[in-house]
Amino acid sequence: MLARNHSELKILAKGGKILGRVLAKLLKMCRPGISTWELDQAAEKMILKAGGRPAFKNYRASSSETPFPSTICVSLNHELVHGVARKEIVLKDGDILTIDIGMEYPYKKTKTGERRGCYTDTAATVIIGRAPKAVIELVATARAALSAGIKVVKAGASVADIGRAIETFVKGRGPYGVIRDLCGHGVGRAVHEEPSVPNYYDRRLINYILQPGQVLALEPMISLGDYRVATAPDGWTVVMADGSLCAHFEHTIVVTKNGCDVLTKRPGEKL
C-alpha cells in the first residue's frame, strides 16, 4: 500500500470527520422500537447530503457476487459483521448492535461520468437499553482494544505490532474470542486495500513496516465465546458459529512519524 499524497490526505481527513459525525448521530438514534431499516435510511440521507456516496451499498468483491443491499452494515447480537438492514428487525431492550459504515467522499455524477473521491470506514457497537455486566464489559473491551491498537501505530512500527497489541489487551481482560477470519485493512482509494491487519499477532507481518501517509482501518472484533464464525443464509451476514454475543469497533487512521491521526473520530470521543 502506497502512502497517500497531501491532496488525498486532506480529502480523507474531511471525509473521515463527516463520517464520524454521521455514525455519532446514528448511535444516538439506537433505541428500543427503531428498525435497522430506519437507521439505514437515515445514514444514506446524511451521506448524500454531505456530498458523499455510501461505500457499502451495491458493493461486491467480484462480479459473481450479489451486491450488498444496505448503506450500512447493521449486525445484531450474535451477528458480527455485514448484517443487512431490514424493516422487520426492530431493536429491543438488551440488544447489542454494531453499525459499520463507509463513505466515498467527495462524489459527484457529471455529464461525462463520475467524479470519484476517497474512502473512509468506521464502526461501533452500542448497547440498547440495559444489559448484563458481562455484555457491558464485552463492549468496553472491544472499544478499548481499538485504542490499544491505535497507540502502537507510528512510522517504523509493523503491522504485526498492531495485532499483538490488540490480542494482548483483549486476552488480559478475559477469556474472549479474538476473531481470526476477519481483520482490518488498508483503505483510501478503495473500500478494501492491502495490507490485511489481523487482530492477533502474526509473525509473518513483522517485516511489513508502516510508513508516514499510509491509511489503515483498524477493527478489533471479539466475542463472549469461541472465535469461529459462519455465514448466515442471506449470504452476507457473518455470525458467531457458537451463537455468542460479539462486539466490533473500527476507525480509519493515517500513519504519522510519531504516531497516527484518527480520521473518523466521533465528536467528543476519547481514545
On the question of pLDDT at 120 being above 80, the answer is yes
Query: Backbone phi, then psi, for 38, in 5-degree steps?
Result: -65, -40
Give the type of residue at 132. P
Segment 136-154 mean pLDDT = 98
Structure confidence at residue 110 (pLDDT): 76
Nearest to 84 by CA among 95, 96, 100: 100
Biggest distance spanned by C-alpha atoms of the chain: 56
Interhelix angle 6-29/36-49, rounded to 10 degrees, is: 150
* Rounded to 5°, angle at Cα 203 from 138 and 178: 15
What is d(CA 53, CA 120) in angstroms, rounded to the nearest whole number? 11
Question: Could you tell me if 125 and 98 are in contact, meaning their C-beta atoms sit under 8 angstroms apart?
Answer: yes
Task: Please tell me what DSSP assigns to residue 32.
Answer: T
- Over the chain, what is the mean pLDDT? 96
Segment 249-267 mean pLDDT = 97
HSE toward the beta carbon, residue 221, CA cutoff 13 A: 30
What are the residue ranges of helices labelled H in the chain? 6-29, 36-49, 133-151, 159-173
Segment 106-129 mean pLDDT = 90
What are the grid coordinates assigned to 106, written together? 467527495
With 0-12 / 13-18 / 19 or more C-beta atoms within 10 angstroms meaning exposed / middle / buried, residue 261 is middle
Segment 241-256 mean pLDDT = 98
CA distances from 244 to 78, 175, 211 (A): 5, 13, 37
What is d(CA 39, CA 21) in angstroms, rounded to the nearest whole number? 14
What secondary structure does DSSP assign to 61-110, as a single string?
Answer: SSTTSPPP--SEEEEETTEEE-PPP-TT-B--TT-EEEEEEEEEES-EEE
Q: pLDDT of 162-193, one tens digit each?
A: 999 999 999 999 999 999 999 999 999 999 99
Q: Out of 39-43, 55-59, 112-116, 130-134, pick the least confident.
A: 112-116
Question: Could you tell me if 200 and 47 are in contact, meaning their C-beta atoms sit under 8 angstroms apart?
Answer: no
Sheet holding 260-262, edge to edge: 193-197, 184-186, 215-218, 251-255, 260-262
Predicted confidence band of residue 1 (pLDDT cuts 50, 70, 90): low
On the question of pLDDT at 94 being above 70, the answer is yes
CA distances from 182 to 162, 192, 248 (A): 15, 12, 11
Q: pLDDT of 26-68, one tens digit each?
A: 999 999 999 999 999 999 999 999 999 999 999 987 888 889 9
On the question of pLDDT at 114 being above 80, the answer is no
Structure confidence at residue 63 (pLDDT): 80
Task: Please tell me what DSSP assigns to residue 132.
Answer: -
**Structurally, what CATH architecture does the domain formed by 6-262 represent?**
Alpha-Beta Complex (3.90)
On the question of pLDDT at 3 being above 90, the answer is no
**For the whole model, what pTM was predicted?**
0.96
The domain locations on the chain are 6-262
Strands 238-240 and 79-81: antiparallel
In the numeric block, the cell 454521521 is attached to 22
